[in-house]
Chain A
Amino acid sequence: MQPLYVKNPTKVVYGDRIGREGQLRLGCSAVLLSDDHQTVLLTRRTDNGQWCLPGGMIDPGESVAEGCEREVYEETGLKVRVVRLTGVYSNPNRLTVYPDGNKAFVIVLNFEVNKVGGELGLSDETTDAHFFPIAEAEQMDLFHGHAEHIRDTMTKNTAALIR
């Protein structure tokens, strides 16, 4: 049975320089691969049912690595450590529109992370979480363009990509 999603979920819209209409917010996402590097952890959003990488916004009073590790823990129950910054995503032609009408230009730092503890579980923000084969995840319509973050991580470039 499909879960019931809220009527007015968070949306991502695209258009020429549409990011100008929002307030700049800094977010993060995390690529956690299984030990055999064959699968990647995805979570399913409560609000719109879309799959995505674990992640969220950086809060004042924390570093970007702390923000990423906190968000993964809150959403999945897994304790992780940031290994490397794989890219910064700052597409000016993208705008995030929240249910309350607020608009944000979200710039995202994507990190590759390693598991250091915890048990995989669900949270208020996620209805499902599991590891998908990487080739499948790279082709999925993931929230906020996260499939690109996975593809970029899998290139195994040491340097962070500037997007």
Chain B
Amino acid sequence: MTQISFGERIGRQGKIRLGCSAVLFDAKREKILLTRRADNGQWCLPSGGVEPGESVAEACIRETWEETGLKIQVERLTSVFSSPDRLVIYSDGKRFQIITINFEVSEIGGKIGLSDETTDIGFYSIPEIETMDILPHHRQFISDTLAGQDAAFIR
């Protein structure tokens, strides 16, 4: 199982990896798409690693499609999360400081469904999300997106 450790400058113990995540609102812009991870039961935004040879927007589109079945397009970059005090340790022992770029995206097609990596999926309201066990920096991305600020948050 993937473990996350926190500590001052703990990111030094890992390598840098670049990820992306997506905030997708429903048609009324009242609810946000979340998935529940199979490996630890936590809720999260559609997200994953950027691969060599794809742009960050392409990575976001691919990960959202793989995890939710929805086709999306990227609308804007809301935040870069790069806390050096967080280390992700995978089951194979590899360690990473993951730097994540969050995008607001819009749906252009597809059909919502589960993947091998998810056990639940749906659109949830802000009050509902407040009570859910969600990855902390994804909660931050949601609030950054709701802030409606043009400039990207640099975190």
Residue positions of A touching B, CB distance < 8 A: 17-26, 57-66, 82, 84-85, 88, 90-92, 105, 107, 109, 111, 158-160, 162-163
**Given A64-B99, A159-B150; A58-B52 close (CB under 8 Å):** no
Give B127 Cβ to nearest chain A Cβ, in Å.
28
Asked if A63 meets B155 with Cβ closer than 8 Å, knowing A88-B77, A92-B53, A159-B76, the reply is: yes
Q: Which of A21, A23, A26 contacts B99 (CB 8 A)?
A: A26
Q: Are B52 and A62 in contact (CB under 8 A)?
A: no
Question: Is the pair B52, A105 in contact by a Cβ cutoff of 8 Å?
Answer: yes
- Partner-A contacts on B (CB < 8 A): 9-18, 50-58, 74, 76-77, 80, 82-84, 97, 99, 101, 103, 150-152, 154-155
Q: B99, A88: Cβ atoms under 8 Å?
A: no
A88 in contact with B52 given A58-B16, A60-B16 (CB within 8 Å): no
Interchain nearest-CB distance for B94 vs A (Å): 13
How close is A153's CB to chain B, nearest CB, in angstroms? Answer: 13
Main secondary structure of the interface of B (DSSP, over half): mixed
- CB of A72 to closest CB in B, whole Å: 15
Q: Which residue of B lies closest to A111 (CB)?
A: B154
The 5 A-B pairs with the shortest beta carbon distances in the complex, nearest first, are: A20-B53, A61-B12, A19-B53, A158-B150, A105-B52
Q: In the complex, what residues of B have CB within 8 A of residue A92's CB? A: 53-55, 58
Contacts of A107 in B (CB 8 A): 18, 50, 56
Q: Is the CB of A162 within 8 A of B57?
A: yes
Task: Indicate if the CB atoms of A17 and B53 lie closer than 8 Å.
Answer: yes
Known A24-B52, A90-B56, A92-B55: A109·B80 in contact at CB below 8 Å: yes
Docked Cα-Cα span, A117 to B101, in Å, equals: 30
Contacts of A85 in B (CB 8 A): 77, 80, 151-152, 154
CA distance A92 to B62 in the complex (A): 14
